[in-house]
């Protein structure tokens, strides 16, 4: 019973983390203009994401422009995009595999060990997906921090961490935790002990 509850908790955490990955990938606020320093114009805020850049006026109106050419983008941004998309696809696969291995599902109920192994495989895929997202968000965040502290970067063109980065970090942690809980439901290996010439399992 405890194993079933652990499986359910892992699936819920993994699913919520997967939703967070999708939200983080789609948001344009991966980095936002910094107001550090003097003589900074605060009438507008500039946001940059994986797919577009946006400008928000002080009136609340936002205008966004999708990046025109994939080949003109930096290699690190393309790699971050790829890792986030991989995380989404792996998360989707993990959900399907883990659901099949859940104790509360009737699928494959004739083979309990194989069913539990399916849940473990789903957990492993969740961990891989969360790790890919964690690498992508941490890599992007380190680039933002490096450019911010670079003395050659003009003050009025510096950026800080955006909301999407924090959502991505939280989503990666939830996904990895969910996968770890699913892996904890791994079936124990049965052992036989010979007693009096007979094997008792």
User: Over the stretch 111-163, which tens digit does the pLDDT of each residue have?
Assistant: 667 878 888 999 999 999 999 999 999 999 999 999 888 877 777 778 889 99
Q: Which fold has domain 2-28+70-186?
A: Butyryl-CoA Dehydrogenase, subunit A; domain 3 (1.20.140)
Average pLDDT over residues 57-73: 80
> H or E element: which one contains 62?
strand 62-66
Rounded Cα gap, residues 180 and 200, in angstroms: 32
Is 120 within 8 Å of 101 (Cβ atoms)?
Answer: yes
> H or E element: which one contains 37?
none
* Mean pLDDT, rounded, of the chain: 83
* Residue 48 to residues 58, 75, 145, Cα–Cα distance (Å): 17, 16, 14
3 or 66, which is more confident?
66
Rounded Cα gap, residues 35 and 28, in angstroms: 18
């Amino acid at each position: 019973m405890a194993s079933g509850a652990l499986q359910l908790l892992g699936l819920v955490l993994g699913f919520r983390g997967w939703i967070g990955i999708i939200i983080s990938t789609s948001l344009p606020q991966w980095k936002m203009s910094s107001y550090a320093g003097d003589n900074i114009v605060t009438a507008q805020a500039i946001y940059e994401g994986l797919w577009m850049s946006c400008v928000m006026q002080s009136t609340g109106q936002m205008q966004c422009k999708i990046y025109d050419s994939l080949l003109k983008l930096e290699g690190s941004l393309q790699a971050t995009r790829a890792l986030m998309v991989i995380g989404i696809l792996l998360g989707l696969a993990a959900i399907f595999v883990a659901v099949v291995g859940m104790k509360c599902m009737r699928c494959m109920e004739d083979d309990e060990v194989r069913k539990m192994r399916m849940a473990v495989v789903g957990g492993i895929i969740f961990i891989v997906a969360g790790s890919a997202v964690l690498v992508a968000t941490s890599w992007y965040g380190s680039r933002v921090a490096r450019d911010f502290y670079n003395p050659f970067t003009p003050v009025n063109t510096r950026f800080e961490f955006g909301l999407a980065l924090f959502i991505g970090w939280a989503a990666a942690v939830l996904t990895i935790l969910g996968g770890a809980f699913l892996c904890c439901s791994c079936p124990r290996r049965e052992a036989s002990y010979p007693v009096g010439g007979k094997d008792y399992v």
